[in-house]
């Protein structure tokens, strides 16, 4: 369990032992210093409602990892959809098997002077034909429509469909809903439970927690740093 009175003292809010809006706002600020006030407030209100329902606030380690992963994915709660405006070099680093050379990545590199949308083309290239996205991924916008969105960057039509089946939020008809902070936090909680992330955290396997949410270890070092920062408040 979390000793909320101690955590609140460390956060500089009234130590009443009840994690309300001000407590969560202060906690989110620890790993979201540059986020807009209205976004922090929206997330704080969503945390109060959803985290207990998914047992994410049951231990310091669970809560720290959840908020740390969300901060990592959203640039400190400032970016709510995947930014695919990459340089050719960065493309080869993120998708080395798909783009083994700079020359292969160059047509998909972001060029603000070019009227063509390289970011859309890149999304369709790397996400097309995978996990529910149509096979002709370079000929339709499935990759772009189901690009990373929200608190944990929900990606691929299959994952949107699974979330929609469980939550009924209308995100298949309106994918942009998954990019709203409060809605996306609920989706993240649902994904967290579906992937049994709490169990990985409970046994101290933060690398596995990252693999479940990210599909690999990209961003793991930053997540661990954010996690440690939050644990100094919550632990």
Report all structural domains of the chain as residue ranges with CATH numbers, in order of start. Answer: 4-79+181-234 (1.10.530), 88-145 (no CATH)
Rounded-to-integer distance, Cα 56 and Cα 174, Å: 27
The pTM of this model reads 0.88
pLDDT tier, 65 (very low <50, low <70, confident <90, very high otherwise): very high
Span 40-65, mean pLDDT?
99
Beta bridge pairs of residue 81 = 149
Give the SS3 label for residue 111: coil
Report angle CA 166, 51, 155 to the nearest 5 degrees: 50
pLDDT tier, 127 (very low <50, low <70, confident <90, very high otherwise): confident
Give the SS3 label for residue 154: strand
* Whole-number pLDDT of residue 155: 87
Question: At how many degrees (to 10) do helices 181-194 and 60-74 cross?
Answer: 130
- Report yes or no: 223 and 1 within 8 Å, Cβ to Cβ: no
Q: Which range is least confidently modeled, 32-36, 174-178, 198-202? A: 174-178
| CA proximity to 77, closest of 3, 179, 156 | 179
Distance (Å) of CA 190 to CA 6, 88, 130, 168, 201:
29, 35, 21, 12, 16
- Report yes or no: 17 and 5 within 8 Å, Cβ to Cβ: yes
Give the list of residues 6+ apart from residue 96 with CB closer than 8 angstroms, or none: none
pLDDT digits over 137-195, tens only? 444 677 788 888 999 999 888 899 999 999 999 999 999 999 999 999 999 999 999 99
Residue 208 CA, distance from chain mean position: 16
Beta bridge pairs of residue 154 = 149
* Whole-number pLDDT of residue 192: 98
Token digits of residue 215 = 């599909």
What is the rounded average pLDDT for all residues in the chain?
A: 92
Rounded-to-integer distance, Cα 119 and Cα 142, Å: 13
* Whole-number pLDDT of residue 24: 99
* Whole-number pLDDT of residue 125: 85
- Report yes or no: 136 and 125 within 8 Å, Cβ to Cβ: no
Span 111-133, mean pLDDT?
78
Q: What percent of the chain has pLDDT over 70?
A: 94
* Whole-number pLDDT of residue 137: 46
Span 14-33, mean pLDDT?
98
Q: Evaluate the CA torsion angle 21, 23, 28, 32 in order and state its sign.
A: positive
Token digits of residue 220 = 């793991």
Q: What percent of the chain has pLDDT over 90?
A: 76
The size of the chain, in residues, is 235
């Amino acid at each position: 369990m979390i000793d909320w009175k101690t955590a609140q003292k460390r956060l500089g809010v009234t130590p009443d032992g009840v994690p309300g809006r001000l407590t969560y706002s202060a906690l989110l600020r620890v790993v979201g210093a540059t986020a807009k006030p209205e976004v922090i407030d929206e997330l704080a209100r969503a945390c109060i409602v959803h985290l207990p329902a998914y047992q994410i606030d049951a231990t310091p380690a669970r809560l720290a990892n959840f908020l740390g992963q969300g901060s990592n994915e959203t640039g400190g709660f400032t970016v709510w959809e995947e930014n695919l405006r990459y340089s050719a070099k960065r493309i080869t680093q993120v998708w080395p098997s798909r783009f083994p050379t700079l020359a292969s990545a160059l047509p998909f590199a972001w060029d603000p002077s070019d009227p063509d949308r390289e970011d859309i083309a890149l999304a369709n290239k790397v996400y097309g034909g995978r996990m529910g996205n149509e096979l002709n991924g370079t000929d339709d916008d499935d990759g772009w429509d189901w690009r990373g969105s929200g608190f944990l960057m929900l990606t691929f039509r299959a994952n949107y469909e699974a979330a929609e089946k469980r939550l009924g939020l209308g995100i298949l008809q309106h994918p942009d809903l998954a990019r709203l902070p409060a809605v996306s936090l609920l989706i993240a909680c649902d994904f967290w439970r579906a992937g049994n992330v709490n169990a990985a955290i409970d046994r101290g396997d933060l690398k596995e927690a990252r693999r479940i949410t990210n599909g690999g270890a990209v961003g793991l070092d930053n997540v661990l740093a954010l996690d440690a920062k939050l644990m100094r408040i919550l632990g």
